[in-house]
Structure 1
Amino acid sequence: RKRVKSVSTDLNSYYQGLVRRYFPNVKLVVDRFHIVSMLTRAFNQVRVAVMKQFDPNTREYRALKNSW
């Protein structure tokens, strides 16, 4: 276990704690899928917050309503 150099994981804090406990010399690497997923969720939260500032009958509201 001391020779393991890196471990790819998601952002779950339980996994990070276990990896650090059992692999003392490891470098944690967060996989790309979870980074993109986290950024997408954050972007959608901002999009919805901005959308709610407009009247539902406006073009801006409809443009922001469709996340695609």
Structure 2
Amino acid sequence: MAQTEPPRCRRVGILGYGRLGQFLAGQLLARGPPLGLALAFVWARDGGRLEGLPPPLRLPDLRLLPQT
């Protein structure tokens, strides 16, 4: 029997939290894990818009993004 590896998890960041950003964040949180997708962070110019998200997902400053 061949052993299959679990799918690699891809971390997705969202820049902007308007209607599209909110939709994408909700979909990633609800449907992402079985597809191998995880919400890494959300950034918005107006950080107050991120109040409904868990603090670890809020990116307060774009300069905090890791350099790759």
TM-score (norm 1): 0.33
Which has more strand, going by share of residues? 2
- The structure whose Rg is larger is 1
